[in-house]
Amino acid sequence: MMDNRNRDRGTIKWTSLMLPEHVEMVKKLWKEDQRVEKGIMDEQKAVEIDFLLQRALTDNLTVQVRVHNGFEYEDIRMKVTNVNRNNHAVVGVDGQTKEKVRISLDDIADLAIL
């Protein structure tokens, strides 16, 4: 027979001793464990993105850019104002904040004209 008095509650008993800052740091570490790796883009997709960027720039269209930010993918709505091939960057204006946005061409995973 096992003695029920010796049963441990695991991590539950430690969470009440942690400061909120520590809980946030632990959650951040867990999020880093769930990091999404950036895939490799094929040449056809790169040509398609380049074509859509040129069209958005020429016709002043709003685009939704899927960007890999180092941890995961995020979508940014923006109007393209410049495509700088020398610096490998796209410059535009964010659709919500109206702030200037600069995105590296290497970080772009997908692009769609809205």
pLDDT by residue (tens digit) across 38-78? 777 788 888 898 899 999 989 999 999 999 877 788 899 99
Sheet holding 73-84, edge to edge: 100-104, 89-94, 73-84, 62-68, 108-113
Residue 3 has pLDDT above 90, yes or no: no
- Judged by DSSP in three states, 54 sits in helix
Distance (Å, rounded) from C-alpha 54 to C-alpha 57? Answer: 5
What whole-number distance in Å separates Cα of residue 114 and Cα of residue 111?
10
